[in-house]
Amino acid sequence: MAETELSNVEITVYALYRLRGHERKVHTEEVAYESYRLAKDRFGWKLAQFRARGFPDKDVVRVALTDAVKDKYGALIEGRAGAESKGKVTDGWVLTPAGSTWIRTNLARLERALATSKPDISRAEVNRFRRQIAAQPLFQNFLKSGEVSRESPYTLTDMLNTSPDAPKELVQAKFSRLRSMAKLLGDLRIGGFLDACVTAFPDLLAGP
């Protein structure tokens, strides 16, 4: 398989993964440069005098990222491209849990097509993530009862290291990163626990 068999959406989502988009918000310009490194002909400027200087075409990447948000492409990422407003950074992208699942399923195909690879998530990082979840009372109770529906929402915000009155968008963003990591690892037990949290705390975790 060659790079030409991949869509722009696939390459940019893979670039986001390489930039650790499962755990942090990544700026459009970072994704643009990484996408360019992966596929220069696809994401470079078209005019020869600029192409030779190695300029990535940020607009092509922005369009692909915007498409990757849409349901028709699998809702693989979340985020937006745009200017800062009143000092607040609004530009940035993260993998969704669906995107992490897609990466895990397609990683070998992507790496083969792009003749590249990304080091596996380190064992230390995996262990740290699993210890973080295992230490949570919410998870411990889930292991005992198989549900979290009787728990207080404060146990959820404690797990996410947020205050009970934190903005819903912050709570959802932190929770989504936990789910993305679980999907990347293929950890069914933690994944099942986090899925159960969505059902148990719809006011905090479901919907926009």
User: Is the confidence at residue 208, as pLDDT, over 70?
Assistant: no
Per-residue pLDDT tens digits for 72-106? 999 999 998 876 555 566 889 999 999 999 999 99
Choose the final residue of a domain: 114, 135, 158: 114
Asked whether residue 8 falls in the same domain as residue 106, the answer is: yes
User: Is the confidence at residue 130, as pLDDT, over 70?
Assistant: yes
The CATH number linked to 19 is 1.10.10
Asked whether residue 129 falls in the same domain as residue 105, the answer is: no
User: Is the confidence at residue 1, as pLDDT, over 50?
Assistant: no
Contact (CB, 8 A) for 139 and 189 = no
Whole-number pLDDT of residue 49: 59
The amino acid that residue 132 corresponds to is Q
Q: Which domain holds residue 90?
A: 3-114
Task: Give me the percent of the chain exceeding a pLDDT of 90.
Answer: 57
Asked whether residue 109 falls in the same domain as residue 148, the answer is: no
Asked whether residue 72 falls in the same domain as residue 133, the answer is: no
Asked whether residue 38 falls in the same domain as residue 106, the answer is: yes
- SS3 for 25? coil
Asked whether residue 97 falls in the same domain as residue 148, the answer is: no
| DSSP secondary structure of 129-188 | HHHHHHT-HHHHHHHHHS--TTS-HHHHHHHTT--TTS-HHHHHHHHHHHHHHHHHHT-H
Asked whether residue 93 falls in the same domain as residue 148, the answer is: no
Whole-number pLDDT of residue 182: 93
Choose the final residue of a domain: 114, 134, 153: 114
Whole-number pLDDT of residue 54: 64
Q: How many domains does the chain have?
A: 2
Per-residue pLDDT tens digits for 158-200? 999 998 888 988 999 999 999 999 998 989 999 999 999 999 9
Asked whether residue 103 falls in the same domain as residue 38, the answer is: yes
Whole-number pLDDT of residue 109: 93
Asked whether residue 109 falls in the same domain as residue 9, the answer is: yes
Asked whether residue 175 falls in the same domain as residue 139, the answer is: yes
Asked whether residue 31 falls in the same domain as residue 96, the answer is: yes
Residue with tokens 């529906």: 149
Mean predicted lDDT score pLDDT of the chain: 87
Choose the final residue of a domain: 57, 87, 114: 114
Asked whether residue 102 falls in the same domain as residue 137, the answer is: no
